[in-house]
Amino acid sequence: MTGKPQSTSKIAQILFGLLAYVSLGIGLVAIVIPGLPTTEFILLAAWAATKSSPRLSAWLENHRLFGPILSNWRNGKIIARRAKVSATVSMLLCAILMLVMLDHGWPIYLAIAGMGLGNLWIWSRPERLAQPV
Protein backbone atom coordinates (compact mmCIF):
# COMPACT_ATOMS: atom_id res chain seq x y z
CA MET A 1 0.00 0.00 0.00
CA THR A 2 2.99 2.24 -0.16
CA GLY A 3 4.17 4.10 -3.21
CA LYS A 4 1.02 6.16 -3.73
CA PRO A 5 1.36 9.94 -3.80
CA GLN A 6 0.63 11.62 -0.51
CA SER A 7 -1.97 14.32 -0.14
CA THR A 8 -0.46 17.79 -0.58
CA SER A 9 -2.75 19.51 1.92
CA LYS A 10 -1.33 19.58 5.44
CA ILE A 11 -4.81 19.51 7.01
CA ALA A 12 -5.75 16.47 4.88
CA GLN A 13 -2.54 14.75 5.97
CA ILE A 14 -3.37 15.42 9.63
CA LEU A 15 -6.94 14.15 9.22
CA PHE A 16 -5.78 11.00 7.40
CA GLY A 17 -3.17 10.48 10.12
CA LEU A 18 -5.82 10.83 12.81
CA LEU A 19 -8.04 8.36 10.97
CA ALA A 20 -5.12 5.93 10.63
CA TYR A 21 -4.20 5.98 14.33
CA VAL A 22 -7.81 5.86 15.56
CA SER A 23 -8.58 2.95 13.21
CA LEU A 24 -5.44 1.14 14.32
CA GLY A 25 -6.41 1.68 17.96
CA ILE A 26 -9.91 0.32 17.39
CA GLY A 27 -8.44 -2.59 15.42
CA LEU A 28 -6.11 -3.45 18.31
CA VAL A 29 -8.98 -3.30 20.81
CA ALA A 30 -11.09 -5.42 18.45
CA ILE A 31 -8.59 -8.26 18.76
CA VAL A 32 -9.90 -8.96 22.26
CA ILE A 33 -13.51 -7.68 22.07
CA PRO A 34 -16.01 -9.92 20.30
CA GLY A 35 -18.12 -8.24 17.66
CA LEU A 36 -15.63 -5.58 16.61
CA PRO A 37 -14.11 -6.27 13.19
CA THR A 38 -10.32 -6.25 13.45
CA THR A 39 -9.52 -6.73 9.76
CA GLU A 40 -11.67 -3.86 8.49
CA PHE A 41 -10.15 -1.37 10.93
CA ILE A 42 -6.61 -2.48 10.06
CA LEU A 43 -7.39 -2.11 6.34
CA LEU A 44 -8.78 1.37 6.98
CA ALA A 45 -5.72 2.27 9.07
CA ALA A 46 -3.38 1.07 6.31
CA TRP A 47 -5.26 3.04 3.64
CA ALA A 48 -5.24 6.23 5.71
CA ALA A 49 -1.56 5.70 6.62
CA THR A 50 -0.59 5.63 2.92
CA LYS A 51 -2.00 9.15 2.68
CA SER A 52 -0.45 10.49 5.86
CA SER A 53 2.41 8.53 7.40
CA PRO A 54 4.93 6.49 5.40
CA ARG A 55 6.41 5.32 8.71
CA LEU A 56 3.08 3.94 10.03
CA SER A 57 2.30 2.48 6.61
CA ALA A 58 5.63 0.63 6.52
CA TRP A 59 5.14 -0.58 10.10
CA LEU A 60 1.73 -2.02 9.25
CA GLU A 61 3.02 -3.63 6.04
CA ASN A 62 5.89 -5.33 7.90
CA HIS A 63 3.96 -6.29 11.04
CA ARG A 64 3.91 -10.05 11.67
CA LEU A 65 0.15 -10.08 12.32
CA PHE A 66 -1.16 -7.28 10.09
CA GLY A 67 1.30 -7.58 7.18
CA PRO A 68 -0.18 -10.80 5.75
CA ILE A 69 -3.73 -9.41 6.03
CA LEU A 70 -2.72 -6.29 4.11
CA SER A 71 -0.74 -8.26 1.54
CA ASN A 72 -3.67 -10.61 0.92
CA TRP A 73 -6.06 -7.69 0.52
CA ARG A 74 -3.73 -5.83 -1.83
CA ASN A 75 -3.15 -8.95 -3.95
CA GLY A 76 -6.72 -9.85 -4.78
CA LYS A 77 -8.99 -8.65 -1.97
CA ILE A 78 -8.42 -11.97 -0.22
CA ILE A 79 -9.60 -12.76 3.31
CA ALA A 80 -8.18 -15.99 4.70
CA ARG A 81 -10.59 -18.68 5.89
CA ARG A 82 -9.14 -18.47 9.41
CA ALA A 83 -10.02 -14.76 9.56
CA LYS A 84 -13.51 -15.47 8.22
CA VAL A 85 -14.16 -18.16 10.82
CA SER A 86 -12.76 -15.96 13.58
CA ALA A 87 -14.97 -13.04 12.52
CA THR A 88 -18.05 -15.27 12.30
CA VAL A 89 -17.47 -16.81 15.75
CA SER A 90 -16.78 -13.39 17.24
CA MET A 91 -19.95 -11.87 15.78
CA LEU A 92 -22.04 -14.88 16.80
CA LEU A 93 -20.73 -14.68 20.37
CA CYS A 94 -21.44 -10.96 20.47
CA ALA A 95 -24.99 -11.46 19.12
CA ILE A 96 -25.70 -14.16 21.72
CA LEU A 97 -24.35 -11.96 24.52
CA MET A 98 -26.51 -9.04 23.39
CA LEU A 99 -29.63 -11.22 23.19
CA VAL A 100 -29.02 -12.72 26.63
CA MET A 101 -27.86 -9.63 28.52
CA LEU A 102 -29.70 -6.69 26.96
CA ASP A 103 -33.32 -5.70 26.48
CA HIS A 104 -34.58 -6.76 23.10
CA GLY A 105 -35.15 -3.56 21.19
CA TRP A 106 -34.55 -2.28 17.70
CA PRO A 107 -30.92 -1.24 18.38
CA ILE A 108 -30.02 -4.85 19.26
CA TYR A 109 -31.69 -6.19 16.14
CA LEU A 110 -30.08 -3.49 14.03
CA ALA A 111 -26.64 -4.40 15.41
CA ILE A 112 -27.25 -8.10 14.75
CA ALA A 113 -28.45 -7.33 11.22
CA GLY A 114 -25.32 -5.22 10.65
CA MET A 115 -23.12 -8.07 11.86
CA GLY A 116 -25.01 -10.45 9.59
CA LEU A 117 -24.49 -8.22 6.55
CA GLY A 118 -20.83 -7.76 7.44
CA ASN A 119 -20.47 -11.52 7.76
CA LEU A 120 -22.08 -12.07 4.35
CA TRP A 121 -19.66 -9.59 2.82
CA ILE A 122 -16.65 -11.24 4.51
CA TRP A 123 -17.66 -14.69 3.21
CA SER A 124 -18.17 -13.28 -0.30
CA ARG A 125 -14.44 -12.42 -0.52
CA PRO A 126 -12.08 -15.00 -2.04
CA GLU A 127 -9.84 -17.09 0.22
CA ARG A 128 -7.01 -17.48 -2.26
CA LEU A 129 -5.99 -16.27 -5.68
CA ALA A 130 -7.83 -17.90 -8.56
CA GLN A 131 -5.68 -20.49 -10.30
CA PRO A 132 -5.20 -19.87 -14.03
CA VAL A 133 -6.82 -22.50 -16.22
| 8 Å CB contact between 1 and 61 | yes
Alpha helices in 31-125 (DSSP H): 38-50, 54-62, 66-74, 81-101, 106-124
Per-residue pLDDT at 22 exceeds 80: yes
SS3 51: coil
pLDDT tens-digit profile of 3-14? 555 546 889 999
- Residues in the chain, overall count: 133
The pTM is what? Answer: 0.69
Q: In the chain, what are the domain boundaries?
A: 8-73, 79-122
| 8 Å CB contact between 30 and 94 | no
Helix-helix angle 54-62:10-30, to 10 degrees: 30
pLDDT tens-digit profile of 77-99? 888 888 888 888 888 988 999 99
Helix-helix angle 38-50:10-30, to 10 degrees: 160
